[in-house]
């Protein structure tokens, strides 16, 4: 039995073959004083080769990654995996069960809870289990996200600049191998507590991405994520190239780069209103171009308000629902970057 704080797991993570068990969270409140919250954990280990950890359900209302991790456990056998593959499809199971972004037990956002802590609630306990017991067993970590209930993302890899040219180049190669249509470039520093930082601190190669969103499952995003995961696992030697092909991976299509850092801008609402979008995810827009019309909910005499693009670029993120309140972002626009510009960006 391995433990971290209130989390325990009886599965032997180093045993050869294909096995699965549960990560068990012990949480005592009015509803759960005589129960346990279980999240499945799968291990496929064919030998001593490179190992990877794949996680979904970091946020509970993001589904493509949860499906991909479960599908990998179904379709791969130890003979396909010369090293090891650890699959945790429902990282924050309390949030998954509630179909919400964060845990209803402690309002914990899993991606702000790493590297975890003891005595700090269930979400940090689960994060600590991953950091203490799963990351040390993986050379590569893949964390699969989607836009969640409120937002749709273009299918994109995250390239977080670190300031270290060698690390940035390695991460860029991971994104190009995964082969999503877009790779968004973000600065370091505003991602405290995320799984990515903990994986980097553990010395792992780390890849994360956004696949669709809106609290739904997009067939296209699921397929793009599936093929990307297979390509990345094959490139790192976790599965064979012929296994990736057998399971449907084609050649990586080229990825385009966009700035989701200082050069990007949100379109933010400051009224309670109904929003009529004038553009769609992935559209290219000019600076000042009207992107949405806001209409008052109650007063038919109030003139509609146009919201304009703060910068020229591509619609990278779009709000799902039309009912908005002050402070809600409707869109995020980021300029496309050419490959040479990405090379020159400071970390």
Length of the chain: 347
Sign of CA pseudo-dihedral 240, 241, 242, 244: positive
Closest CA to 89 of 23, 179, 174, 157: 23
- Of 100 and 133, the one with the shorter C-beta distance to Zn ion is 100
Q: Which is nearer to Zn ion, 62 or 80 (CB)?
A: 62
Cβ 317 to Zn ion shortest distance, Å: 12
Binding mask 2-41 for Zn ion (x = CB under 5 A): ----------------------------------------
Q: Please, are residues 57 and 95 in contact by the beta-carbon 8 Å criterion? A: yes
CA end-to-end distance (rounded Å), the chain: 41
Name the residue nearer to Zn ion (CB basis): 59 or 100.
Answer: 59
Nearest-approach distance from CB 148 to Zn ion, in angstroms: 6
Peptide bond into 121 cis (omega under 30): no
The piece of 55-63, 91-99, 117-125, 231-239 that touches Zn ion (CB under 5 A) is 55-63
- Alpha-carbon distance of 166 to 255, in angstroms, equals 20
Cα separation, 95 vs 61, whole angstroms: 7
Residue 308 C-beta: closest distance to Zn ion, Å: 29
Work out whether 100 is an interface residue with Zn ion (CB under 5 A): no
Q: How far is the CB of 249 from Zn ion (least distance, A)?
A: 24
Binding span for Zn ion by CB under 5 A among 10-18, 60-68, 126-134, 195-203: 60-68
Cβ at position 305, least distance to Zn ion in Å: 31
213 vs 310, beta carbon nearer Zn ion:
213
Q: Output the smallest distance, CB 153 to Zn ion, in A.
A: 9
If the CB atoms of residues 62 and 64 are measured against Zn ion, the closer one turns out to be 62
Q: With CB under 5 A, what is the number of residues at the site for Zn ion?
A: 3
172 binds Zn ion (CB under 5 A): no
Mark the segment that binds Zn ion (CB under 5 A) among 62-70, 166-174, 274-282, 333-341: 62-70
Which range, of 35-43, 141-149, 218-226, 237-245, touches Zn ion by CB under 5 A? 141-149
How near is the Cβ of 214 to Zn ion at its closest, in Å? 13
Q: Which is nearer to Zn ion, 146 or 236 (CB)?
A: 146
Q: Is 14 exposed, middle or buried (0-12, 13-18, 19+ CB in 10 A)?
A: exposed
Stretch that binds Zn ion, among 15-23, 47-55, 59-67, 157-165 (CB under 5 A): 59-67
Instruction: Between 145 and 172, name the residue whose CB sits nearer to Zn ion.
Output: 145
Nearest residue (CB) to Zn ion, 145 versus 319: 145
73-81, 124-132, 143-151, 198-206 -> range binding Zn ion (CB under 5 A): 143-151
Residue 145 within binding range of Zn ion, rule CB under 5 A: yes
Taking Cα atoms as reference points, which of 106, 84, 82 lies closest to residue 95? 106
CB of 143 to Zn ion, least distance (A): 8
* Least distance between Zn ion and beta carbon 196 (Å): 11
Contact pick of 18, 27, 45, 59 for Zn ion (by CB under 5 A): 59
Binding residues (CB under 5 A) for Zn ion: these are 59, 62, 145
């Amino acid at each position: 039995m391995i433990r971290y704080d209130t989390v325990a797991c009886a599965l032997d993570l180093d045993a050869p073959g294909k096995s699965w068990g549960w990560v068990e969270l012990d949480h005592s409140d009015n509803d759960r004083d005589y129960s346990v919250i279980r999240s499945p954990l799968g291990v496929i280990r064919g030998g001593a080769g490179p190992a990877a950890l794949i996680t979904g359900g970091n946020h509970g209302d993001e589904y493509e990654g949860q499906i991909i991790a479960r599908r990998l456990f179904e379709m791969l056998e130890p003979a396909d995996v010369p090293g090891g593959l650890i699959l945790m499809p429902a990282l924050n199971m309390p949030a998954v069960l509630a179909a919400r972004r964060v845990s209803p037990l402690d309002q914990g956002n899993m991606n702000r809870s790493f590297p975890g802590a003891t005595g700090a609630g269930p979400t940090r306990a689960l994060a600590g289990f991953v950091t203490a017991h799963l990351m040390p067993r993986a050379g590569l970590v893949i964390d699969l996200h989607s836009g969640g209930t409120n937002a749709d993302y273009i299918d994109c890899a995250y390239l977080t600049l670190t300031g270290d040219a060698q690390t940035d180049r390695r991460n860029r190669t991971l994104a190009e191998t995964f082969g999503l249509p877009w790779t968004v470039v973000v600065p370091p520093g505003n991602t405290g507590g995320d799984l990515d930082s903990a994986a980097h601190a553990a010395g792992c190669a780390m890849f994360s991405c956004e696949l669709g969103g809106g609290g739904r499952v997009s067939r296209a995003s699921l397929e793009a994520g599936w093929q990307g995961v297979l390509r990345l696992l094959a490139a790192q030697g976790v599965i064979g190239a012929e296994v990736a092909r057998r399971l449907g991976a084609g050649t990586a299509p080229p990825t385009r780069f966009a700035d989701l850092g200082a050069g990007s801008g949100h379109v933010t609402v400051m009224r309670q209103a109904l929003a009529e979008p004038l553009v769609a995810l992935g559209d290219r827009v000019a600076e000042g171009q009207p992107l949405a019309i806001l209409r008052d909910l109650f007063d038919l005499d109030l003139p509609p308000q146009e919201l304009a693009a703060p910068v020229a670029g591509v619609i990278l993120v779009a709000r799902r629902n039309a009912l908005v309140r002050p402070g809600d972002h409707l869109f995020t626009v980021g300029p496309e970057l050419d490959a040479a510009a990405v090379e020159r960006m400071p970390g």
